[in-house]
Amino acid sequence: MSRKLGAVLQGLVLGGLLTWAQINAIAAATQAAIFHYQGF
Amino acid sequence: MYAGAYNALAFRPTDDAGDERRPQCREHPSIWRECKGETLVTVNESVRRFWAGALTPSLLAIVVMLCVNLGTIAVALALVDQDFVARHGRWLAANRFDYDILVTTGALDLARSEADRPLVVVLGNSTMRAMFSEQALREHLQQLAADAPSVHKFCTSRQAVLDAAAIIERIPDGSAGVVVLGLSPGMMTLGARELQNAGGSSRYGFRSDLYDEGMRGAGLKVAPRSRLYAVDNAAFLSVRVPRLAINLLLGRRIEFVESGYLGAQPDRVAFEAQGRLYGHLWQDYAARSDESLRALDAIRERLASRTRMRLLLVEPPVNPDFPGDYPVVAKVYAAHAQTMRDYAAAAQLPYVTPAAAISVGHADFIDGIHLGNPDLFKAHGRWLAERVVERLQAPTSAGDLQ
């Protein structure tokens, strides 16, 4: 049971990292940006 | 039951099969499971196995990883739509001046409303946002008009005419009222390519036919539309997710500031930086103002064909020392005023400026173009209310029809 819990934790962490990487890839591919005011 | 088992950890762990006849099984019936054949495990052993499971690749870990990833995508596709962003979009804000999110939520909220009340929608860039108080506009409209319109201040930093076109597409079909478009020279220098460099359609949480057409007209690629909000606005959502995570972790709900310039101290450094910026603005204005005017034509056509909204063009005030100190600024402003007068005359639209009615001085501005005086902020709100009422009460002109 402990080993399975550890495996589940690993899966959660990896799943989160994979999702985060996909989000960043979309932002990079679409040249998305939060606009920061530049002067006018 | 397992609490009892762990209390039995005073016993040495055993790797062999349990036996109900063993002394510890008789003395501690709560560990019946171990007694029936499973290995009694210490806390240390449990921890060791846990970390082994956590650090060793396994099929279970892969399955959980895929479930988390695909589940997140499924939830996003199912739940995140324009209603969701209209209600919860503030959690995506980066700071108190993140007007892109403020306008996104406001525009999406407007889009799902009924066209049963007159509207005043004000568009423009930061010079327009700094010009007038939304509250003063609203209150003065309530005094002047029996059926007071609802007011929506949709001014954003460095808004282009194409951005304004995207926003007015959110006005419900059949709506009546006034669209106020504050047009400063800087706004007219932003074409499709400049918008793409500043984030393109990822700035706002909605897609727009007019915006996409403007991009295609400039030879730029446009992401296809799928009718799924999360897919169509993947660029907007993807860049905002880190902000969402931070705001949720900190429990931070951003309270927006209407104008960051209000009450601030004049900034000579910013004044001079803008003067230098306008050094090449003249060429930009000459090169791109036509593109902005075409976008303005598209706005007029959209308003005439889908709504009963009337357009009112406004030129925001400028620091009188700005054209005074920088001849190129004077040149740009003079050209802009002429361009807009010609356009308004041809389109039979009113083009107004508060300069004749409200006197401004160098000390009222933070820099060359942003008003900072709180009293003038309110005065311009009242002035704008009077112009809106005039526009509402004027007879229908050819400019209102096309």
Q: What is the pLDDT of residues B226-269, one digit of tens each?
A: 989 999 999 999 999 889 999 999 999 999 999 999 999 999 99
User: Tens digit of pLDDT for each residue in B280-337?
Assistant: 888 999 999 999 999 999 999 999 999 999 999 999 999 999 999 999 999 999 999 9
Model confidence pLDDT, tens digit, residues B130-141: 999 999 999 999
Q: At A32, is the secondary structure helix, strand, or coil?
A: coil
Q: Are the beta carbons of B208 and B219 closer than 8 angstroms?
A: no
Q: Is A14 helix (H, G, I), strand (E, B) or coil?
A: helix
Q: Is B174 left (phi over 0), alpha (psi -120 to 50) or beta?
A: left
Taking the Cβ of residue B97 and every Cβ of chain A, the question of whether any pair is shorter than 8 Å is answered with: yes
Which of B42, B49, B103, B326 should we substitute to test contact with A (largest number of A Cβ atoms within 10 Å)? B49
What the block records as the tokens of B262 is: 């209000």
Tell me, yes or no, if B334 comes closer than 8 A to chain A by beta carbon: no
Interchain CB contact of B284 with A (< 8 Å):
no
Predicted confidence (pLDDT) at residue B394 exceeds the cutoff of 60: yes
Q: Which residues of A touch B199 (CB under 8 A)?
A: 31-35
Cα–Cα distance measured from residue B232 to residue B45, given in angstroms and rounded to the nearest whole number:
50
Enumerate the β-bridge partners of residue B353.
Answer: none
**pLDDT given for residue B36 in this prediction:** 52
Please indicate whether, in this complex, the C-beta atoms of A9 and B274 are within 8 angstroms of each other.
no
Q: How confident is the model at residue B57 (pLDDT cuts 50, 70, 90)?
A: very high
Chain B partners within 8 Å of A39 (Cβ): 270, 273-274, 277
Strand order in the sheet with B176-182: B150-155, B119-124, B176-182, B308-314, B351-352
Mean of all residue pLDDT scores within chain B? 89
Alpha helices in chain A (DSSP H): 2-29
Instruction: Give pLDDT, residue B21.
Output: 53
